[in-house]
Amino acid sequence: MSPLTVLAVIPARYDSSRFPGKPLASICGKSMIQRVHERVARARLPNQLLVATDDLRIAQEVESFGGRAVMTKATHRSGSERVAEVAATRSCDLVVNIQGDEPLIKPEAIDLAIERLLQGKEFEVSTLVTRMRNMDEVQAPGVVKVVTDISGGAIYFSRSAIPYSHSGSGIFFKHIGLYVYRRAFLLQYPQLPRGRLEEEEGLEQLRILENGYRILAVETDWDAISVDSPEDLARVEEQLKGG
């Protein structure tokens, strides 16, 4: 039996409506894309690591610190579609999509999501979730919430506060935007029809659920700081300086 092969891909684009040039933003002397790349490179299970981009400036930055960049189409509507383009040209068993705005991502969390998908044969995709400790985030539309069934399968993702807590003391889970795909499924993903829920929420993972496939939600105690604004950047720098 041949060894398992895992391809890790960081999709990165320059034109962000909320934070243009975000992958090249400096965080304590290093670009954000370098910070993410260094974290992912410390994970045990991926065999190969690439950055997928449609911008030459990002590709040049990746190559400057010794990473490997792949140029992709500029027409992709989501990071997963960009990752699928890369996966189509490479042989592997699993593909990990790591968001390019997670400079503090834990390598151990990446490995955990991979291991759990290998155990969950009925799932095509795994992702990460964490229990919300900051209750202000529950009402924040920029923070995606998730509810799951008793087997750990995601039932729904939303920018709204879900589930409704009748007692007022509910437990809420935040979605962390990392995905591990079985390669065969990922290659199908761009052809799946976009449903009403994906359009309404603006969440690419809902396409998977709307088309009848299952996502395994893997709980971790790591609480992500996604960089969507210069203010988020300052929070990341503060955490890095604090050790």
Summarize pLDDT for 129-170 with one digit per residue, the tens: 999 988 888 999 989 999 999 999 999 999 999 998 887 778
108: its two tokens: 């151990």
The answer to whether the Cα torsion of 7, 94, 193, 23 is positive or negative is negative
- CATH number belonging to domain 6-241: 3.90.550.10
Burial zone of 14 (CB within 10 Å; 0-12 exposed, 13-18 middle, 19+ buried) = middle
68 contacts: CB under 8 Å, gap ≥ 6: 49, 50, 51, 62
Residue 211: strand, helix, or coil? coil
Burial class (CB in 10 A: 0-12, 13-18, 19+), 180: buried
The neighbouring-strand residues paired with 217 are 127
pLDDT digits (tens, 9 = 90+) for 85-132: 999 999 999 999 999 889 999 999 999 999 999 998 899 999 999 999
Enumerate the domain spans of the chain: 6-241
> How do residues 43-98 score in pLDDT, each as one tens digit?
999 999 999 999 999 999 999 999 999 999 999 988 899 999 999 999 999 999 99
Per-residue pLDDT at 235: 86
Contact predicate 144/160, CB 8 Å: no
**Nearest to residue 35, comparing CAs of 7, 62, 16?**
62
Contacts of 165 (CB under 8 A, 6+ apart): none
Say whether pLDDT at 1 is over 70: no
Q: What is the pLDDT of residue 243?
A: 56
pLDDT for the residue numbered 167: 78
Integer Cα distance of 95 and 167 in angstroms:
40
Q: What is the pLDDT of residue 111?
A: 98
Distance CA 171, CA 147 (A): 10
Bigger pLDDT: 235 or 82? 82
What are the tokens at 22?
């975000």
Q: Tokens in use for 173?
A: 């889970």
